[in-house]
Structure 1
């Protein structure tokens, strides 16, 4: 990514390098180095603007400060961190003296004598409930905050406005239409791929950029650059008299020059033919890694490799990740209505990797009757073949432990409904709250009101393995992750039980629980997708 950014910077005029959030967590690099590796690599690209995302708060405000300190330690790089709707309390790590010690609401850049303002917007509810910020850190309404700062900048005579949001593609389109004076939005959070890459099996949600209008009826350019450093977005905007005059761009998919088919290297002359096809498509490009960035990465990677290469099991098939059954994510074969070897269906039963992980949690919580967890806590598709410790900690990258809660059957029902309600409150941004369970199954109808969305709820006895209706009056031991037990992702019933003292923290890191499941329960053998009747979601009616 650094190489591509530097290449574009050398070819273009009036460049602003923008990062739209979620720079940290999600890999072993963060688990081991707590943001230091991420910041050092970001500094090789030297972003002008960095907007906070929800995952910046996964380990609290103090850990975020450590990352921002490293990000700001490179004197040759001047990255401004922005988030207009994030207000830390003075005296806390993010605001030791003033609310703007670490976070600015906006930054103003000048190009050819014209000022352009970049306003930061973080996704409020998701960050508040799906991460772990301090209770004193405020997250203000996204639309109201954006409009307030557009108005303030307009009063200063600045009418070229770019919102840098970590808010989700669909939310960005709605935000554009709700706010006056906005000209462009660079977004993140929803991992949305835009552009014309469908011919390569990569699902696109819209044009790059997507053109819409603001509340004044003036044009707005909306762009997002997919996920995991796989695309560098090049958005070209010209302004005339405070409005967008032209707008275009390219999502550059970053490729190497070696190719495989069924894990076998592709050789000449086919390799040369593939390189020719890549060269003919402006959206594709072979990129040689930047040597400075590569050297910095190597120093960290050597340490990570020692841990991550140990093989702990084998995936007997591709185990697709998906949060909500009818909302595809990722690449083929997981971007369609994939069916596992067992007959489970992504668009009916939901994510295969989500279900496997939930089963692993239950297996390692020896007194639990069932497991419940959030789909967003599981981050990747498990490829067919060797599973390593690195795979496990990439699959489950957060600092969570396995926690047991003592719940009534009614509270179990209420907890599932909590997750569905949080998802329904913002289906474009809260997909991570969607519930998964082990030894419990249900039917879901999202067209119903909260409290009536699940039906035919059954639990499977751990000893007899017989399914029977869940008893609202019975007491169940439920294993979940510590994030949900603390009320994350809207799971208020979990938090109430924990606050009531009906909680036991096993202090087993949840990724380690998955490792132990593969090594001890499966004996390092093959991992397959469960039978469809053992999935938590048996049928699913989506939101209208």
Structure 2
């Protein structure tokens, strides 16, 4: 059972006002200030926020602006005797040249500089394998958490991860446990998580709550990388969690979510270090129970938040090393090429066509979630190609039967994830039909798919690894990892065919939508 009844954030504002006006004793409550980030993905360098305004994108200060906020909030907490925590919910480095080039070293250097207290591990933190996590954990001045990560042979946590920790801030005893998504085996290459198992989240969380309460903590925080939808489910299933600082889904919550049943407060930022979250807890000194809370997100617009020059220099040092040659002009685009998750997209068509042309295969399939950027109208540089393939996938070729191609297309439309973008294929399906029976028609090269024929297929290295529902890719014959990065396939195609253009052509048709 929860040990308190929490006031809503509006009531916290009233209590704070009463303290200021002298109607409530100032020493009746302790304050705990929690600053939090998630899904940084190596985004330390300032960027232009094209997603807010493509024509006049406002500059975002990222790491240097975040450092200004962190220093200011920490100093204010120290001045008033408040407790202060700085937390990150994982996926800290993969996705930018700075993060990828340094294999996370640059980001850990920044997090050390900023004085982070703890971080939970995310799925993309395994992108360079477990040996790299050993190195990053040794580099970090703070612990990595992952209570549901176990070594299969021993049943113990890997040495780079801890189950939970206990801290004291401002006289408040705080327990923090970490969780990673239980669906890792569909989100990472098998070789990167070899020998590990990822336990179901809720039972592990319940165990951590029991263990931390037994150690006498006052407040329990879950530092999770499971996604907002799963966080909301978790806090309905598990009693005793006071706060969730979440990640994975990049769901920015300008106001925290509070569960009605267990009164757990859930927070998350938009990720990519474009915002920093702040949660202030008001804690009754006699009971050590939370009396109220107030949460918000700090926007890191460079025009509004001064850039910390020491942090800017730290980031600049790594950018100079990582981004050589990225601004080389490779061609141009006649239109902006956008991406999509649940339907055919111009970016999907361009990438899969480029792969099919480069390797001369019959069929190309590429997961929509692996396309990480768009191509703007106008001049294109290698940076654009890089950003479209931020996960650094390579092209893998193989031979599959027509039956296997059909079955993979069924996996594509089961709605457990975004669909596959395709080339050489035309598919008609009906999403309202049962899973496994949704594909109605498939053509390859303009001819009906032949179950008994072999087809040459290209895909990306993530799908080809055969993790999760993608095991059919791992069954292909003449399986060959070409070692050619998809970003380089994109760049070569742009150089050869500029000005490029790609449109939705009716390769993927959902009949249920067409008949509406």
Q: TM-score, normalization: structure 1? A: 0.76
| CA distance, structure 2, for counterparts of residue 537 and residue 36 of structure 1 | 44
Partner of 2:229: 170
Structure 1 residues 44-69: Cα deviation after superposition (integer angstroms, max 9, x where no partner):
22211111000011221112223333
Q: 1:410 to 1:158 in 2, by over 3 A?
A: same
Q: 1:352 to 1:237 in 2, by over 3 A?
A: farther
Q: 1:85 aligns with which of 145, 148, 151?
A: 148
Partner of 1:340: none
Kindly tell me the number of residue pairs found equivalent between the two proteins: 442
- Does 2:469 correspond to 1:496? no
Partner of 2:502: 529
| CA distance, structure 2, for counterparts of residue 134 and residue 511 of structure 1 | 24
Contact kept, 8 Å, 1:418 with 1:490, in 2: the verdict is: yes
Question: Alpha-carbon deviation of 1:89?
Answer: 6.0
Contact kept, 8 Å, 2:235 with 2:262, in 1: the verdict is: no
Q: 2:120 aligns with which of 38, 51, 60?
A: 51
Contact kept, 8 Å, 1:438 with 1:536, in 2: the verdict is: no
| CA distance, structure 2, for counterparts of residue 355 and residue 160 of structure 1 | 50
Which aligned pairs between 1:202-217 and structure 2 lie closer than 5 A? 208-213=255-260, 217=261
- Does 2:463 correspond to 1:484? yes
Partner of 2:368: 375
Partner of 1:400: 393
Structure 1 residues 210-237: Cα deviation after superposition (integer angstroms, max 9, x where no partner):
1213xxx331111110021111111122
Contact kept, 8 Å, 2:345 with 2:504, in 1: the verdict is: no
Instruction: Give unpaired runs (5+ residues) of structure 1.
Output: 73-77, 196-207, 258-285, 325-348, 425-430, 462-466
| CA distance, structure 1, for counterparts of residue 264 and residue 363 of structure 2 | 48
Partner of 2:74: 9
Structure 1 residues 414-467: Cα deviation after superposition (integer angstroms, max 9, x where no partner):
11223444x52xxxxxx3x532211213234333333212222222x2xxxxx2
- Does 2:101 correspond to 1:101? no
- Does 2:319 correspond to 1:301? yes
Which aligned pairs between 1:288-437 and structure 2 lie closer than 5 A? 288-324=306-342, 349-366=343-360, 368-421=361-414, 423-424=415-416, 431=417, 434-437=419-422
Partner of 2:483: 507
Q: 1:156 to 1:139 in 2, by over 3 A?
A: same
Contact kept, 8 Å, 1:256 with 1:287, in 2: the verdict is: yes
Q: 1:250 to 1:452 in 2, by over 3 A?
A: same
The 3-state SS of whatever aligns with 2:296 is strand
Contact kept, 8 Å, 2:352 with 2:422, in 1: the verdict is: yes
Partner of 1:253: 299
Structure 1 residues 68-92: Cα deviation after superposition (integer angstroms, max 9, x where no partner):
333x2xxxxx32211111124689x
| CA distance, structure 1, for counterparts of residue 412 and residue 397 of structure 2 | 18
Question: Alpha-carbon deviation of 1:129?
Answer: 4.0
The 3-state SS of whatever aligns with 2:372 is coil
Instruction: Give unpaired runs (5+ residues) of structure 2.
Output: 1-65
| CA distance, structure 1, for counterparts of residue 69 and residue 362 of structure 2 | 51
Structure 1 residues 318-353: Cα deviation after superposition (integer angstroms, max 9, x where no partner):
3223323xxxxxxxxxxxxxxxxxxxxxxxx34432
- Does 2:448 correspond to 1:469? yes
Relative contact order, CA 8 A, sep 6+: which one is greater?
2
The 3-state SS of whatever aligns with 2:330 is strand
Q: TM-score, normalization: structure 2? A: 0.80
Q: 1:42 aligns with which of 111, 134, 141?
A: 111
| CA distance, structure 2, for counterparts of residue 128 and residue 440 of structure 1 | 24
Contact kept, 8 Å, 2:126 with 2:188, in 1: the verdict is: no
Contact kept, 8 Å, 2:224 with 2:245, in 1: the verdict is: yes
